[in-house]
Structure 1
Amino acid sequence: MDQPCDSDAYRDSVAVSKFLLASADADGADPYAIAREAGVPGWLLDADDTMIPTRFTLGVWEQTERALGVPHVTLAMAERYRLGDLGLFDYLFAQSRTIGEGFDTSVRYLHSVTTNARLLKVAEDDRETTFAFEHVHGEGRGLELSEQFSTLVLCTRARTVTTDAVRPVRVGLQQAAPRDHRSFLEGYAPHESVDFGMPRTTFTFRTADLARPVPGADPGLAAVLRRYAETLPPPPPATWEGRFRHLVDECLTDGSAALDTVARRLAVSRRTLQRRLTESGTSWRAELDAARRRQAERAAGTTGTTELAGRLGYADPRSLRRAMRRWQEGDEEAEEQRSA
């Protein structure tokens, strides 16, 4: 098992690390080496729509900067960012009626991409509206890069959805100014005021600009997306056990549910996999039986016993029927124990 740490309570969408690694790959760096140096387990990067500990995201940021060796790596990453790379979070913005409404959805649904940051509207009048972005946990260079990039993305989206490139009038960053101050400012915000060493990270737009409509926005689609976002909890955190069980289900469907096969797909040895299962209080036999039960229950009433037995790797339908009786008896016994 990967050892947890305090920062594991804070998580980011795996889409962020995947975006960074894909961008680094396009710029000639080795994404696998970056992930390895950042300590990111390979199985995490195979997951979709899930959250990973913030320490991995910050590690990927640090290693990406080191691997590329370019000044102001966040500027390079922001150049590659396209609206939609962050999934639902981006689409909610793009389908909003106005830029201001788009930022309101970002405030409300930032948790869909990170639980380690807050986006707040801290001031608003007829002339200007200011937002603050702040991390909850973390430190070091990775956090500085994440803060730069997050602010860039939030501001870039306002430019992307408008034909006249709406920009903030001011940006303030908590971190100290970089050595190459001038080139950073030229790439970061050629028409904006950027200050460093501020009490908090903020960006300010003209209130009139936030009232501008978003061309091409579909109100009907926006309503559907918001209803969906309201019912969707933050993506569940990825766990080793969850990844393992997902692979067992996949292998069972493919007809290759063997211990060695699953171990290879997890990039561990057979012995390591068995040890991890023991540490988790389970075994390969118990997990395979549980996976067979999950699939049998999903197929109930839609698949014949003979076909299902073959799919689940049983020798014949009688073996499947015996397993189903055992599952039922186990449920009844557990219910009796709860009632006692």
Structure 2
Amino acid sequence: MKPLSRYASLNDYVELARSLGLEPARLIRDCGLDPAGFGTQDRWIPAEAVAELLERSAAESGRDDFGVRLAQLRRFSNLGPLSLVIREEPDVRSALRLLSRHEHMYNEALHTEVIEANGMATIRVNVDVGRAVPVRQAVELTTGVLHGLLRGFAGPTWRPMQVCFSRPAPREAATYLKMFGPQVEFDQDFDGILTYSSDLDAENAMADPLLHAYARQLLGAMTPAREATVADRVRQLVELLLPTGRCTVEQVARSLGVDRRTVHRKLAEDGTTFTAMVDDIRGALAERMVANRRHSLTEVGDLLGFSSVSNFSRWFSARYGVSPRQWRATSTPTSA
């Protein structure tokens, strides 16, 4: 199956896109994502769609440094709950290893590797979205974020020996020089950061030794007891795709990197079908949204993927025995 990423991987995207004269909502939809989902940071989305959004944004804005610009806006807290644990690791090496070991908790397409030899530490960055598509902006975003994390761990005076990119040198390198300093090099054999091994021995500038044990306990609580099943991933994608009008088994299969027969077979093994899953998710969402009153019934129908309010009304009446309007009239108003 194709790897997934969290919406948190696009933190600050909307603000940067607008500042560069782009229409972020249109671009987000064009890549098969839901603009409303940016308010749900922990929701999983196809990593390929994230990479595509970054590449399109760079092309349309004419800013070849889009990924690095986005990295400049990142904060340590963008890692979510994992940041609370990494912050308390005693030294830079252990913080970096923990980050690498648990990177799947926030981005399944991201792979970082730390190689130490002859007093040097090479931190390689790779982004694999499951298909041979451009990922340069995603790689540069990741490298920029990693550079910022290392400065947070080692302290503001830390400087890498080299920041390497495999891409050709850009026409305008000002953004790269501003973020990485004169150590940035292009046309290299790998993407990543080169530093001294002794830099990794440094105490983590953010750590509080008294909190380390508690942070490790928190990590144990956060780590999933099992890997997500195909049914879990299909459910997440259905919730994501419903508002876009693209919630088909073919689209879900493409996002997972499998064919539609595999999706049907895996769901059958879990005792369900794609149609039943879509219907159940629609039902759960419809109950909340119809009672909410924040959206008109026409908007609710759109958000649930119906082509018209009459189709939505017929489906709702068949499922609940009353029309959406009657359900709303008898429901206690909610604000969420």
Q: Provide the C-alpha distance between the structure 2 equivalents of 1:271 and 1:248, rounded to a whole number of angstroms.
A: 13
Alignment counterpart, residue 239 of structure 1, candidates 237, 246, 252: 237
Say whether the 8 Å CA contact 1:247–1:262 is kept in structure 2.
no
Say whether the 8 Å CA contact 2:11–2:78 is kept in structure 1.
no
Alignment counterpart, residue 64 of structure 1, candidates 57, 60, 75: 57
Deviation at 1:243, TM superposition (A): 6.1
Q: Provide the C-alpha distance between the structure 2 equivalents of 1:197 and 1:232, rounded to a whole number of angstroms.
A: 40
Q: What per-residue deviation string (whole Å, max 9, x for no partner) do you get for residues 168-202 of structure 1? A: 3223333333233x43542342142524241x323
Say whether the 8 Å CA contact 1:130–1:204 is kept in structure 2.
yes
Q: Provide the C-alpha distance between the structure 2 equivalents of 1:104 and 1:149, rounded to a whole number of angstroms.
A: 19
- Structure 2 partner of 1:167: 159
- Structure 2 partner of 1:209: 199
- Structure 2 partner of 1:192: 183
Amino acid at match of 1:155: H
Say whether the 8 Å CA contact 2:167–2:186 is kept in structure 1.
no
Deviation at 1:73, TM superposition (A): 1.6
Alignment counterpart, residue 178 of structure 1, candidates 170, 181, 184: 170
Q: What per-residue deviation string (whole Å, max 9, x for no partner) do you get for residues 2-49 of structure 1? A: xxxxxx722111112343224323555432122133332445445441
Distance 1:216 1:197, change over 3 A: closer
Deviation at 1:158, TM superposition (A): 0.9
Deviation at 1:246, TM superposition (A): 4.9
- Structure 2 partner of 1:78: 71
Q: Provide the C-alpha distance between the structure 1 equivalents of 2:77 and 2:317, rounded to a whole number of angstroms.
A: 42
Alignment counterpart, residue 250 of structure 1, candidates 248, 269, 288: 288
Amino acid at match of 1:175: R
Say whether the 8 Å CA contact 1:61–1:146 is kept in structure 2.
yes
Q: Provide the C-alpha distance between the structure 2 equivalents of 1:272 and 1:151, rounded to a whole number of angstroms.
A: 49
Q: Provide the C-alpha distance between the structure 2 equivalents of 1:255 and 1:72, rounded to a whole number of angstroms.
A: 43
Amino acid at match of 1:186: L
Deviation at 1:60, TM superposition (A): 1.5
Q: Provide the C-alpha distance between the structure 1 equivalents of 2:59 and 2:178, rounded to a whole number of angstroms.
A: 20
Q: Provide the C-alpha distance between the structure 1 equivalents of 2:72 and 2:29, rounded to a whole number of angstroms.
A: 25
Which residues of structure 1 form unaligned runs of 5+?
Answer: 1-7, 278-282, 290-309, 314-340
Amino acid at match of 2:9: V
Which residues of structure 2 form unaligned runs of 5+?
Answer: 239-277, 322-329
Deviation at 1:233, TM superposition (A): 5.6
- Structure 1 partner of 2:46: 53
TM-score normalised to structure 1 length: 0.67
Say whether the 8 Å CA contact 1:98–1:212 is kept in structure 2.
yes
Aligned residue runs from structure 1 range 1-340, under 5 A: 9-25=2-18, 29-42=22-35, 44-45=37-38, 47-121=40-114, 123-125=115-117, 127-136=119-128, 137-141=130-134, 143-180=135-172, 182-183=173-174, 185-198=176-189, 200-217=190-207, 218-231=211-224, 237=233, 238-240=236-238, 241=278, 244-251=282-289, 254=292, 260=298, 262-266=300-304, 268-270=306-308, 284=316
- Structure 2 partner of 1:321: none
What RMSD, in angstroms, separates the aligned Cα atoms of the two structures? Answer: 3.6
Q: What per-residue deviation string (whole Å, max 9, x for no partner) do you get for residues 198-229 of structure 1? A: 1x323222111112122342314422332123
Q: Provide the C-alpha distance between the structure 1 equivalents of 2:320 and 2:44, rounded to a whole number of angstroms.
A: 26
Distance 1:256 1:63, change over 3 A: closer
Q: What per-residue deviation string (whole Å, max 9, x for no partner) do you get for residues 268-295 of structure 1? A: 54369659x9xxxxx5467659xxxxxx
Distance 1:265 1:234, change over 3 A: same
Q: Provide the C-alpha distance between the structure 1 equivalents of 2:176 and 2:162, rounded to a whole number of angstroms.
A: 12
Deviation at 1:111, TM superposition (A): 0.7
What secondary structure is seen at the aligned counterpart in 2 of 1:36? Answer: helix
Q: Provide the C-alpha distance between the structure 1 equivalents of 2:164 and 2:311, rounded to a whole number of angstroms.
A: 48
What secondary structure is seen at the aligned counterpart in 2 of 1:52? Answer: strand
Q: Provide the C-alpha distance between the structure 2 equivalents of 1:253 and 1:80, rounded to a whole number of angstroms.
A: 38
Deviation at 1:125, TM superposition (A): 3.9
Q: Provide the C-alpha distance between the structure 1 equivalents of 2:319 and 2:289, rounded to a whole number of angstroms.
A: 12
What secondary structure is seen at the aligned counterpart in 2 of 1:81? Answer: coil
TM-score normalised to structure 2 length: 0.68
